[in-house]
Chain A
Amino acid sequence: MNKWLPTVTALAGALVLQVGVAPHLAISGVVPNLFLLVVITLAMLEGRSAGAAAGFAAGLLFDLLGTGPVGAAALVFSVTGYIAGSLSEHMFAESWLMPVTVVFVASLSAELAYALVLTVLGAGSPFWSAFASVILPAAVYNSVLALLVYPLLARFLRRGRPMTTFGRIG
């Protein structure tokens, strides 16, 4: 239970912040995806299995909070968590660039995949419009936020365990 408590707390915190705070941080209609930030951070710290499981839970919450098809984000975030976990296993945590890069790549992939799933399910929009107005800005916004969120979240999630990551900016 102790192992899962920080994860569940982080996801609950993401839920509260996504509903209560994120809408007020929107820039030109682009709302940061705090669920995705938590999933990617978890995946980087705990590995791809934890990333996939957290991605599924966060995606399901994301689906239930929105008006789109339920299950679409659960599918995309599961895969994203798995890929982010795999990516981080093959990268070195020597600088701030690593989490920012992983968050950017994972966010971009997640938003692209979500757009694709919406299109397949008949709720999509023209690709280049979606790319220019949502997908790319959201990936950039999330990776900028990762600079702030990642060190805090990493410390919280790895409390009581050696924390050698991100030392240079922490």
Chain B
Amino acid sequence: MRLPEPERSGGGTALLVALVVISLIIVTVYFRESDSGPLHRMRRLTQAASAPVATAGEWVFTPVDAVRNWFGGFGVSRDEVETLRAQNAELRQRVSELEEARLENERLQEILGFIQARELDAVGARVIGRPINAWEGTIVIDRGSDDGIEPGMPVLAPEGLLGQTVDVTASSAKVRLITDQRSGVSAFIQATRAEGIVNGSIEGELSLDYVSREVTVTVGDVVLTSGMGGVYPKGLLIGEVADILAAENDLYPSIVVRPSARLAGIEEVIVLVGAPPEPDLGSGE
């Protein structure tokens, strides 16, 4: 038996054509208008309205994720004696938490030192939203223009560069991750000072492009922001070279970069507010 009663032949076609035309008009208006245009404002309103839902989702799923990770981590010891296993698990959990706290403290101290050395202002923020579709790498944080945040500000994780703010409302901001396919960061290799652009991709991987073939790049080389472009200050840790693929006919080698920041499951971030200092490529970090 059929599901719905079939519509008349041609029924709905006029509606579809109208909707397609309206969609095309909306796309055109979106590209033509400025950041303060109605569609951009509507997007910020939607972001502000959906932020509490995203926060609630984070609140509900954080313990779920923790339990999932816990079971994943201790799956090997399920056959052990029940009491010893429970005791062991508890102790391991505590040691793990303490170790994690120590490492995080070290990382935060490093970032704090970096920020203080450059006299940058920073705002701490909590992640309240994850990517809602597979096409973009963005997260939402719980700080916005009320906290001095503006579009285009660098965002750091304790381990390194995370991305930059794009859409900002009064109390939240969307952060485009460096792994997003539309992200590009001016960078250089610490050891050789060779410059290039770190680009994201649809797979969520990073590549260092436009590095001269004459430069020797080795796996493990550290990649830092160069400060060119005016968004990121010089010297922020992006990651390290994970692989190099250099075909004979390629103008530039294909360099895969492993990001330092733990992009999945990140909970707290730091936003650098204020303009980045002028780039100074002549000195090392």
Contact = CB atoms under 8 A, between A and B. Distances in A.
Interface of A: 15-16, 18-24, 26, 29-31, 33, 44-49, 52-53, 55-56, 59-72, 74-75, 78-79, 82, 85, 88-89, 91-94, 114, 118, 121, 123, 125-126, 129-130, 133-134, 137-138, 164-165
11 contacts: A19-B50, A20-B54, A26-B130, A29-B134, A33-B133, A56-B22, A75-B20, A88-B4, A89-B3, A92-B1, A133-B202
B208 to A, nearest CB: 17
B81 interface: no
Contacts of A15: 50, 53
Nearest to A117: B27
Given A20-B53, A66-B132, A82 B12 contact: yes
B23 A23 contact: no
B145 interface: no
B113 to A, nearest CB: 32
B269 to A, nearest CB: 16
Given A16-B53, A92-B2, A93-B2, A74 B23 contact: yes
Given A24-B57, A47-B4, A53 B136 contact: no
Interface stretch (B39-47, B117-125, B248-256, B272-280): B39-47
A64 B43 contact: yes
Given A24-B64, A78-B23, A133-B203, A61 B132 contact: no
Contact of B26 (A71, A91, A93): A71
Size category, B interface:
35 or more
Given A29-B134, A33-B133, A118-B135, A49 B15 contact: yes
B56 interface: yes
A49 B132 contact: no
Q: Which of B11, B15, B29 has the most CB of A within 10 A?
A: B15
Contacts of B42: 64, 70
Given A121-B31, A134-B202, 6 more contacts: A29-B204, A49-B12, A53-B19, A60-B26, A66-B133, A78-B19
B202 A125 contact: yes
Interface of B: 1-7, 11-12, 15-16, 19-20, 22-31, 39, 42-43, 46-47, 50, 53-54, 56-57, 60-61, 64-65, 129-138, 166-167, 174, 176, 181-182, 201-204
A64 B132 CA distance: 11
Contacts of B20: 75, 78-79
B3 A48 contact: no
B166 A82 contact: no
Given A16-B53, A24-B57, A53 B15 contact: yes
A137 B279 CA distance: 42
Nearest to B55: A20
A109 B223 CA distance: 39
Contact of B132 (A18, A79, A89, A91): A18
A126 B22 contact: no
B204 A48 contact: no
A134 B1 contact: no
Contacts of A49: 7, 11-12, 15
A70 B43 contact: yes
A92 B2 CA distance: 5
B24 A71 contact: yes
Given A19-B53, A24-B130, A70 B27 contact: yes
Given A15-B50, A67-B138, A129-B201, A20 B7 contact: no
Q: Which of A33, A47, A123, A129 has the most CB of B within 10 A?
A: A47
